[in-house]
Amino acid sequence: MTQQRGAFNMPARKLLAISQLLLGLLIVFLASAALSSRIIQKGEIVSVPDISGKTVAEAKRELIRKKLSLQEKGIEFDDRFERGQIISQDPPAGSKIRVNRLIRVVLSGGSEMVEIPAFVGRSMEAASQILGDIGLQRGLLSQVHTGRYAAGRVIAQEPPPGEQKVKRSTPIHFLVSQGKMEPKYLMPDCIGRKSGPAIARLQELGFKVADVRYSYYPGLDSGIIIKQFPPHGYGVAKRSLISLEVSR
């Protein structure tokens, strides 16, 4: 009985050894195939496409099909290309290179010469936004009072609009409105007066008493003004805020 069992087990061990050998060979084959594929892919040669005149998004789509990548190298002014289009590339179109290489490009900043927009009547905030968008600089800023334009609006500019083209980064100088000049009055002397009648009189004249503080002051009855701002004799407009300190 023992001899028969041993005779039966011998082929099973051989089959197991053969199976393990075949599995090992399969693993080696698959690993070799993957390695060979990588080596072939790494050494694959492609022709560089012509991406001049294209936007970055358009160029990237075309380069991906060739297994290439794009890198922006800088911006230059160029009248031949619109802003954002590719002016030049390295390596140049038609070059034979391996896949997974970088194609470095220079983008157009548009024409170096631009027309000067009309800023008169615009807010200074809007004018600054337009200057930034087209590459011009804000120059000197002067302000005057005028009733013709609201405060913060451009009254005049130099250079004037439309007469000539200028280089980007050229400064544009502005004259800006401060609005209508308000009449000013001399601040009266309120110290030592009763706060109630003094405040009522100031408000009756159109002034704004914004802050009234109360402090202890020895020897004074309550309700007497002991400090004021602005001080007596200073110029004050109707919209100016007046502060008083009153004894308690």
Domain layout of the chain by residue ranges: 45-108, 113-177, 184-247
Environment class of 135 (CB within 10 Å of its CB; exposed 0-12, middle 13-18, buried 19+) = middle
Do the domains at 45-108 and 113-177 have one common CATH topology? yes
For residue 50 the two structure tokens come to 């012509």
What are the pLDDT digits (tens) for 120-165?
999 999 999 999 988 899 999 999 999 899 999 999 999 999 867 8
- The CATH number assigned to the domain with range 113-177 reads 3.30.10.20
Averaged pLDDT, 65-83 = 91
Residue 164 main-chain phi, psi, to 5 deg:
-155, 160
Q: Which fold has domain 184-247?
A: Trypsin Inhibitor V; Chain A (3.30.10)
- Indicate whether this model's pTM tops 0.75: no
Q: Which fold has domain 45-108?
A: Trypsin Inhibitor V; Chain A (3.30.10)
Q: Give the helix, strand, coil percentages of the chain, each rounded to 5.
A: 30, 35, 40
